[in-house]
């Protein structure tokens, strides 16, 4: 072999990795261009051409998860069977929130159109968490939750139409419709069939107090049902809060405070427990103790009108008139917004519960 041939071969070997690297870089640039082109075609509704571009991208880089998600969207719209696999993989791995939402909407709709609510639900929950103020996603989620509730209720009616759980389900439906009298009757029927039915004693107590909060006999009966709830269901923040409410309505403030504090110990961010303690400390002319509790409630639930109202009162009593005025303005805004919600629910024959010890301007 001639020396120049050897030198030539060595030069080729030295240059070869760089050439391959250059080719790979060029291929990646081309793939990125086709990804962008495919996205534009998809936005125009041209799924056939977009699909070819996304497949070309994946041929260069199979790990390009954005391309796989967009390909799945095209395939879903074209009715192709590979859509589910590509959408599922991309939804679980893509990082961009906007793209994840777009892929998730297509995947949720894919499941929903096939009546697969069990798979639709977790996708919808993720979408709502990513887009808590998106009206379209909230509307879709409401439909999914309602269908899920209807399906389970229908299944319950078919499997056990005469069961205590069926009576409890009927009672819960009547509570939502605002028919507390008939709801109470169905709760009693359920408990007559099964005195140890989980949740039923507590729900009956709630219905009794909601129907007649200032009636002494109703307060006594609710207290008895709550004691049964403790025995059947065990200790919980919600039972302690309802016991606190019952005592508060009967002006047993020390007992009410003990229940609310117990609830707060069980669940530190339970807003009803925090509100209960704040109501009592305000009644005891101790606004300084109420202020941090009310602030915590507002942080947890900015649309809690009662919390804004009582926070404004506590600030006023603590010598902070400017901030008190601002909180009272927020209260007015929230109250007006809540009234609109109540009106909408009334149009749907639904009922919105009102907080105990509703604030009234004094």
Tell me the pLDDT tens digit for each residue of 110-137. 999 999 999 999 999 999 999 999 999 9
Is domain 160-234 given the CATH code 2.40.170.20 in the classification? no
Q: Tell me, what's the pLDDT at 19?
A: 44
What is the C-alpha to C-alpha distance for residues 209 and 223, in angstroms, rounded to an integer?
9
Mean pLDDT of 141-163: 91
pLDDT digits 0-9 by tens, 244-293: 999 999 999 999 999 999 999 999 999 999 999 999 999 999 999 999 99
Q: Once rounded to an integer, what is the mean pLDDT over residues 53-73?
A: 91
Residue 232 pLDDT = 96
Residues of each domain in the chain carrying CATH 1.25.40.10? 28-149, 160-234, 255-355
Q: Please determine, for residue 24, whether its predicted confidence score (pLDDT) is greater than 80.
A: no
Phi and psi at residue 232, to the nearest 5°: -85, -45
What CATH homologous superfamily does 255-355 map to? Tetratricopeptide repeat domain (1.25.40.10)
Distance CA 341, CA 335 (A): 10
Phi-psi sector, 79: left (phi>0), alpha (psi -120 to 50), beta: left
Give pLDDT tens digits for 295-334.
999 999 988 999 999 999 999 999 999 999 999 999 999 8
Looking at residue 45, its pLDDT comes to: 87
Confidence of residue 27 (pLDDT cuts 50, 70, 90): low
**Residue 237 pLDDT:** 96
**Mean confidence (pLDDT) of the chain:** 87
**The pLDDT value given to residue 11:** 38
| Section 79-101 average pLDDT | 94
What is the reported pLDDT for 6?
A: 46
CA dist., res. 233 & res. 151, Å (int) = 26
Determine the longest span between alpha carbons in the chain, in angstroms.
Answer: 114
Q: Which of 149-153, 186-190, 317-321 has the weakest average pLDDT?
A: 149-153
Which residues, at least 6 apart from 30, have a Cβ–Cβ distance to it below 8 Å? 60
Mean pLDDT across 347-359: 56
Predicted pLDDT of residue 339:
81
What letters, b where the CB count within 10 A reaches 16 and e where it falls short, cover 313-349? bbbbbeebeeebeebbebbeebeeeeeeeeeeeeeee
pLDDT value, residue 30: 67
Fold of 28-149: 1.25.40
Q: Is it the case that residue 352 has pLDDT exceeding 60?
A: no
């Amino acid at each position: 072999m001639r020396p120049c041939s050897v030198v030539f071969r060595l030069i080729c070997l030295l240059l070869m990795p760089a050439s391959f690297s250059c080719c790979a870089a060029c291929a990646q640039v081309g793939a990125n261009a086709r990804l962008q082109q495919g996205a534009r075609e998809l936005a125009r509704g041209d799924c056939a051409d977009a699909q070819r571009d996304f497949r070309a991208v994946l041929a260069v880089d199979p790990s390009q998860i954005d391309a796989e998600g967009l390909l799945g969207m095209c395939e879903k719209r074209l009715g192709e069977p590979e859509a589910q696999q590509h959408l599922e993989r991309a939804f679980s791995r893509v990082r961009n929130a906007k793209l994840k939402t777009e892929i998730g909407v297509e995947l949720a709709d894919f499941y929903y159109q096939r009546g697969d609510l069990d798979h639709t639900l977790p996708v919808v929950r993720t979408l709502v968490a990513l887009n808590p103020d998106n009206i379209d996603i909230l509307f879709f989620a409401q439909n999914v939750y309602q269908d899920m509730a209807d399906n389970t209720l229908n299944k319950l009616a078919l499997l056990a139409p005469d069961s205590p759980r069926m009576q409890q389900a009927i009672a819960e439906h009547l509570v939502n419709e605002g028919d507390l009298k008939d709801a109470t009757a169905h709760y009693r029927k359920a408990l007559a069939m099964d005195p140890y039915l989980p949740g039923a004693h507590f729900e009956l107590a709630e219905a009794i107090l909601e129907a007649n909060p200032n009636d002494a006999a109703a307060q006594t009966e609710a207290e008895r049902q709550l004691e049964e709830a403790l025995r059947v269901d065990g200790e919980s923040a919600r039972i302690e809060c309802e016991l606190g409410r019952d005592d508060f309505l009967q002006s047993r403030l020390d007992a009410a405070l003990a229940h609310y504090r117990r609830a707060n110990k069980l669940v530190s961010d339970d807003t009803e427990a925090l509100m209960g303690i704040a109501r009592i400390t305000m009644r005891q002319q101790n606004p300084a103790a109420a202020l941090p509790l009310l602030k915590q409630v507002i942080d947890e639930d900015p649309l809690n009108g009662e919390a804004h109202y009582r926070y404004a009162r506590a600030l006023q009593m603590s010598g902070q008139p400017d901030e008190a005025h601002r909180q009272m303005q927020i209260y007015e805004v929230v109250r007006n917004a809540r009234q609109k919600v109540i009106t909408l629910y009334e149009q749907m024959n639904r009922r919105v519960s009102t907080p105990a010890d509703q604030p009234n301007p004094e």
